[in-house]
Amino acid sequence: MQSTRDRILERLDRLPETMLNEILQFIDSLVNRLPAVKGIPGKLLLDLAGSLPSEDASEMRQAIENDCGQVDFDEW
Q: Which residues contact 31 (CB under 8 A, 6 or more apart)?
A: none
**Given this model, what pLDDT does residue 4 score?**
94
> In tens digits, what is the pLDDT along the chain, a chain of 76 residues?
889 999 999 999 999 999 999 999 999 999 888 888 778 888 888 888 889 899 999 999 898 888 787 767 777 5
Sign for the pseudo-dihedral over CA of 50, 56, 61, 67: negative
What gap in Å lies between CA 13 and CA 65, rounded to an integer?
Answer: 37
CA-based angle 18:2:22, to the nearest 5?
Answer: 15
Picking from 5, 58, 59, the residue whose alpha carbon sits closest to that of residue 27 is 5
